[in-house]
Structure 1
Amino acid sequence: MGGVAVLREVAASFVVPGPAGVAIRDRLKGLTIADEEVLRLVGGHLGSLASRDLRARCADGLDHDAERWAQRKRELTGESSSRWAGSVTKATHDQWALARRGQAAHVQSLEAGVAAVRHRLALPIGAKGTKHAAGGYRSEREWFAKSRRLRVLEDRLERERADRAAGRVRVVRGGKRLLNTRHHLEEAGLTEGEWRRRWEASRRFLQADGESGKRYGNETLRVSPDGEVSIKLPAPLAHLANAPHGRYVLTARVAFAHRGEQWRDRITANRAVAYRIHEDVDRDRWYLTASWSIPAVQAVPLATVRANGLIGVDMNADHLAAWRLDAHGNPVGAPRRFDYDLSGTAQHRDAQVRHALIRLLHWAARHGLAIAIEDLDFTAETTREKHGRRKRFRQLISGMPVARLRARLLSMAAELGIPLVAVDPAYTSQWGAQHWQKPLTSNKHKTTRHEAAAVAIGRRALGHPIRRRTTPPRTHQSDGYGHRTVQAEPGTPGREGPHPRIPGPRTRCVPPGRGAKVGDQNTHHRSGCSAEHETWQQDSLPLSL
């Protein structure tokens, strides 16, 4: 008996909640040599304390509790201050938690790779695969090599599971990639001095959590409404102070161009604002980042979002394909394409994504519509064991900035008040191409697979099935030979009755007396019939039910 493909259950669509915080940044212009030296000394001293605290937190593992946290904070207070110690310990705990989440994702990736190799090893050599599962290996040589790789993956998986059960994580302050670059300076195009500057800058600690009720919302890193920045120096560096109460005032002033009024309102009301100072070694600049939490905005009900239709968006490696749909799931107008180029530096890629999203959001804002997008997660898709030798395809998936695009779209849409609907990505490309690509293709426009997927995404967000009802055979159409694409559900009252005359496209009106009894024929069968005249309200008809 042949195998039957089992479709996985499609998750329900939902309105994405808004962002929980805001972050803005400005450059510290006009710093003197003394200012930069103080920032390096303070950041280096607090960075050494953060490294020591991270080692202690990793040693505690899963046995860490509130009492141990308080003990760590007391150990750091004597060499800094109570507020600096609180910021260090909180940042350390967040870093440990992030390492745990990364460890869980790595275990998931290894499990997917082991399952894929085991499946392919169990198949005969040369067995063909399907759309849902890979086939057997091509030769005995490849089968033998993969059998050895399976042992390697199983050993790695066993070690990672043991580390996770014991609460062990492996994390490097400054980044593992930059650490390994030290051994490949020629390939990276760096000298030892340049690498050392980057390493020291990445390991500095100059960030302080805000405190509501304190002056300007932060006692440690304080920024006044006129842009003056002052730092509470740690105890060993108090002799560097140039202001009362052990503080150092920087020469540079900041003026946040984006959300500056919101920031000024917060600090004027003494509401908490967190700050972070960091050095960009490549540009030889210093930056100040301000961040604060915002109250959760109640999400718009899904029924309200669906009322006027929405825009379905399909994300691809080099563009966003979008199509507007009405409330019935019918495509309206022509599709739109928003291109971006993901080559070059990280700043260039981020700018390309941002510009594409700006054009998409402005289009949605002009029509007052929500945006439907797939809830993508390629954690199990990027493993090389699943896609075999399709190296370019794996690189294509790995290069898609899913997380960055999702974060950018969420924050930018919330700023414009545009709701986002997340849908399950299962089968949207396949079913969209199957049911919508050919019907939407005309002599003037050839619909692409991605545009058809955008229609499928939009229909799923609206609660309609993706499948499009096809036209019945000619002898089975309404009224013998009249064209009918829309078919009523079996339980719809009056589905077998005659249909009212639909006004023509030119006048949009019905001549007097025409079709007065078309919608109700009970006059011919029994007395006591209903009124002869009924009011029909013309509306756009859905292409499927």
Structure 2
Amino acid sequence: MGELRKPAAPFVVSGPAGVSVRTRLRVSAADAAVLTEVGSFLGSLAAGDLAGISRQGRDRDAPSWAARKRALTGSSSARWAGSVTKATQDQWALARRGQAAEMAWLRGQIARIEARLSRPLGAKADKRAGLVRGYAGRAEWHAKSRRLSALQDRLAALEGDWAAGRVRVVRGGKKLARLRHHLDEAGLSRQAWQERWQAARMFLAADGESGKRCGNETIRVTDTGQLSIRLPAALTHMANAPHGRYVLDAMTAFTHRSEEWRDRIVADRAVAYRIHHDVPRGRWYLTASWQRAVVPTLPLEAVLARGVVAVDMNDDHLAVWRLDAHGNPVGRPRRFAYDLSGSARHRDAQLRHALTRLLHFTRRHGAAAIAVEDLDFTDGAGREQFGRNKGFRRLVSPLPDREVPSAPRLDGRRTERGHRGCGSGAHVAVGRPVLAAATDDRHS
């Protein structure tokens, strides 16, 4: 008999590295016009800077970054230039990580197809000998050989881009760009699409800076809810306040984590802001984000001392059971259902709702941790692993087996990209069982 697979040792996940909250801005027509003008202007600067950094490829260093920032400072400001160059740098780095992930996926697919093509038609798998099964018939073998050639061409082109440091990024989103050629199917007019495209390419984001008034000199929100922005040098003629600032008529109020946000701005600690226009809804939103102090991770024994809530992640529900300090079930099991059909937003909302119920259940029963299994069906969800077994692939693919919905981008004056996970303390990592301390009863 083959050797049984051994589960990896459990570990405790650290708490969230930052917080992000959002509120609606009820702007006037004048405010909307100014925000659109400023966002479009800064968006054009971001597009030019992204094109420049893409042309530089891998030949980038600190002096080149400083030169790009100086080039943007004249028409905007030093802080706007810093925010723009940092955002484009993050976008370039994200595209590079996407390239690396795609190359790894392509190599895995190519290796699996080559292994199956080398086997006789209809041959069965032999796990002891490390042999995969062959394809069912000659027609499937021929189709897979053509797919192999296409994947190899994709990999060669991607490796060329990787070696040159060239990335392919669409500011505004590839999905929205492609929608321009299918307006009739989407039920959109050209003007409606143009408004969405313009809003998606706007740039209205500023990193926080500790020591400055209210924690942000560029986009400032006072404790009374007054919102103002520092206009770029080319648009200072629109200012309605001293020092080239524009004060919006709309007042701001954060409902979630308002006390934590107010404590930061009163102490002039860094808070990053982003203004976003949702064209389909006709709404403007303000997102505030900040980093949290690093909290030492508790030892595993201390986490388990008050019991744990064990979670089994399934296709359509979370199976939950409370365990005592010795691992014995207590009470009756619970079931938190969700529906993973529909759009990505709907799936994320369903998972967030289920996780919120899970956190409420955990706090209600006094447990200090949540134990989450890590299925990691990445290889199993592929078509080459289970071939024509579409039913099983369809069952496995939507399972939340790797990551729960991510929190928004976490920004400070100098930020680190937040890890994906539940913002309230329950996290899922890849590769082994997870113990996450339940530190809050609400999902951010």
Fold match (TM-score > 0.5): yes
The answer to whether structure 1 residue 115 and structure 2 residue 111 are counterparts is yes
Q: Report the CA distance between 1:223 and its aligned residue.
A: 0.7
Q: Secondary structure at the match of 1:63?
A: coil
The answer to whether structure 1 residue 359 and structure 2 residue 360 are counterparts is no
1:325-344 correspondence to structure 2 within 5 Å = 325-344=323-342
Please say if residues 321 and 338 of structure 1, whose CA atoms lie closer than 8 Å, have aligned partners that are also in contact: yes
Please say if residues 15 and 421 of structure 1, whose CA atoms lie closer than 8 Å, have aligned partners that are also in contact: no
Please say if residues 279 and 286 of structure 1, whose CA atoms lie closer than 8 Å, have aligned partners that are also in contact: yes
The CA distance in 2 between the partners of 1:393 and 1:272, in whole Å, is 48
Q: Which has the larger radius of gyration?
A: 1
Deviations 1:135-189 (A, max 9, x none): 2111111112211211221221222223223222111111111111111222222
The answer to whether structure 1 residue 22 and structure 2 residue 29 are counterparts is no
Please say if residues 318 and 339 of structure 1, whose CA atoms lie closer than 8 Å, have aligned partners that are also in contact: yes
**Residues paired across the two proteins, number:** 421
Q: Mark the CA change 1:308 to 1:229 in structure 2 (over 3 Å): closer, same or farther.
A: closer
Q: Tell which deviates more after alignment, 311-320 or 397-406.
A: 397-406
Please say if residues 275 and 288 of structure 1, whose CA atoms lie closer than 8 Å, have aligned partners that are also in contact: yes
Please say if residues 376 and 431 of structure 2, whose CA atoms lie closer than 8 Å, have aligned partners that are also in contact: no
Task: State the TM-score, normalizing by the size of structure 1.
Answer: 0.72
Q: Which residue of 2 aligns with 1:291?
A: 289
Q: Report the CA distance between 1:36 and its aligned residue.
A: 0.7
Q: Mark the CA change 1:175 to 1:398 in structure 2 (over 3 Å): closer, same or farther.
A: farther
Q: Mark the CA change 1:167 to 1:381 in structure 2 (over 3 Å): closer, same or farther.
A: farther
1:114-263 correspondence to structure 2 within 5 Å = 114-129=110-125, 135-263=133-261
The CA distance in 2 between the partners of 1:258 and 1:40, in whole Å, is 27
The CA distance in 2 between the partners of 1:346 and 1:406, in whole Å, is 10
The answer to whether structure 1 residue 388 and structure 2 residue 387 are counterparts is yes
Task: State the TM-score, normalizing by the size of structure 2.
Answer: 0.88
Q: Secondary structure at the match of 2:404?
A: helix
Q: Report the CA distance between 1:133 and its aligned residue.
A: 7.3
Match of 2:46 among 37, 47, 50: 50
Task: Supply the AA of the counterpart residue of 2:85.
Answer: T
Q: Tell which deviates more after alignment, 150-159 or 340-349.
A: 340-349
Deviations 1:279-313 (A, max 9, x none): 01111000001111111111111121233442221
Q: Which runs of 4+ in 1 moved over 6 A?
A: 130-133
Please say if residues 376 and 430 of structure 2, whose CA atoms lie closer than 8 Å, have aligned partners that are also in contact: no
The CA distance in 1 between the partners of 2:225 and 2:307, in whole Å, is 45
Please say if residues 311 and 372 of structure 2, whose CA atoms lie closer than 8 Å, have aligned partners that are also in contact: yes
The CA distance in 1 between the partners of 2:108 and 2:115, in whole Å, is 11
The CA distance in 1 between the partners of 2:86 and 2:379, in whole Å, is 31
Q: Secondary structure at the match of 2:274?
A: strand
Q: Mark the CA change 1:397 to 1:71 in structure 2 (over 3 Å): closer, same or farther.
A: farther
Q: Mark the CA change 1:381 to 1:187 in structure 2 (over 3 Å): closer, same or farther.
A: farther
Please say if residues 124 and 134 of structure 2, whose CA atoms lie closer than 8 Å, have aligned partners that are also in contact: yes
Q: Report the CA distance between 1:209 and its aligned residue.
A: 0.7
1:405-420 correspondence to structure 2 within 5 Å = 405=404, 407=406, 410-414=421-425
Please say if residues 322 and 336 of structure 1, whose CA atoms lie closer than 8 Å, have aligned partners that are also in contact: yes
The CA distance in 2 between the partners of 1:189 and 1:382, in whole Å, is 34
The answer to whether structure 1 residue 368 and structure 2 residue 363 are counterparts is no
Please say if residues 374 and 423 of structure 1, whose CA atoms lie closer than 8 Å, have aligned partners that are also in contact: no
The CA distance in 1 between the partners of 2:42 and 2:402, in whole Å, is 31
The CA distance in 2 between the partners of 1:109 and 1:117, in whole Å, is 12
The CA distance in 1 between the partners of 2:289 and 2:243, in whole Å, is 25
The answer to whether structure 1 residue 71 and structure 2 residue 70 are counterparts is no
The CA distance in 2 between the partners of 1:5 and 1:158, in whole Å, is 37
Task: Supply the AA of the counterpart residue of 1:74.
Answer: R
Deviations 1:428-468 (A, max 9, x none): xxxxxxxxxxxxxxxxxxxxxxxxxxxxx69xx69xxxxxx
Q: Report the CA distance between 1:346 and its aligned residue.
A: 4.3
Q: Structure 2 regions of 5+ residues with no counterpart? A: 408-419, 437-444
The CA distance in 2 between the partners of 1:181 and 1:392, in whole Å, is 31
Q: Which residue of 1 aligns with 2:303?
A: 305
Q: Which residue of 1 aligns with 2:398?
A: 399
Q: Structure 1 regions of 5+ residues with no counterpart? A: 426-456, 463-545
Please say if residues 210 and 272 of structure 1, whose CA atoms lie closer than 8 Å, have aligned partners that are also in contact: yes
Q: Mark the CA change 1:384 to 1:363 in structure 2 (over 3 Å): closer, same or farther.
A: same
Q: Mark the CA change 1:379 to 1:57 in structure 2 (over 3 Å): closer, same or farther.
A: farther
1:517-528 correspondence to structure 2 within 5 Å = none
Task: Supply the AA of the counterpart residue of 1:153.
Answer: L
Please say if residues 403 and 421 of structure 2, whose CA atoms lie closer than 8 Å, have aligned partners that are also in contact: no
The answer to whether structure 1 residue 80 and structure 2 residue 76 are counterparts is yes
Task: Supply the AA of the counterpart residue of 1:352.
Answer: Q
Q: Tell which deviates more after alignment, 307-316 or 379-388.
A: 379-388
Task: Supply the AA of the counterpart residue of 1:387.
Answer: F
Q: Mark the CA change 1:179 to 1:134 in structure 2 (over 3 Å): closer, same or farther.
A: farther
Percent of matched pairs sharing the same residue: 60
Q: Report the CA distance between 1:203 and its aligned residue.
A: 0.3
Q: Which residue of 2 aligns with 1:97?
A: 93
Q: Mark the CA change 1:223 to 1:49 in structure 2 (over 3 Å): closer, same or farther.
A: same
Q: Which residue of 2 aligns with 1:540?
A: none
Task: Supply the AA of the counterpart residue of 1:148.
Answer: R
Cα RMSD for the two superposed structures: 2.5
Q: Tell which deviates more after alignment, 323-332 or 189-198.
A: 323-332
Task: Supply the AA of the counterpart residue of 1:360.
Answer: L
Q: Report the CA distance between 1:407 and its aligned residue.
A: 3.8
Q: Report the CA distance between 1:198 and its aligned residue.
A: 1.1
Please say if residues 15 and 302 of structure 1, whose CA atoms lie closer than 8 Å, have aligned partners that are also in contact: yes
Q: Report the CA distance between 1:352 and its aligned residue.
A: 2.0
Please say if residues 46 and 203 of structure 2, whose CA atoms lie closer than 8 Å, have aligned partners that are also in contact: yes
User: Which has the bigger relative contact order, CA under 8 A and spacing at least 6?
Assistant: 2
Please say if residues 125 and 132 of structure 2, whose CA atoms lie closer than 8 Å, have aligned partners that are also in contact: yes
The CA distance in 2 between the partners of 1:204 and 1:117, in whole Å, is 43
The CA distance in 1 between the partners of 2:297 and 2:348, in whole Å, is 27
Q: Report the CA distance between 1:9 and its aligned residue.
A: 6.0
Q: Secondary structure at the match of 1:399?
A: coil
Q: Report the CA distance between 1:34 and its aligned residue.
A: 1.3
The answer to whether structure 1 residue 33 and structure 2 residue 29 are counterparts is yes
The CA distance in 2 between the partners of 1:90 and 1:44, in whole Å, is 18
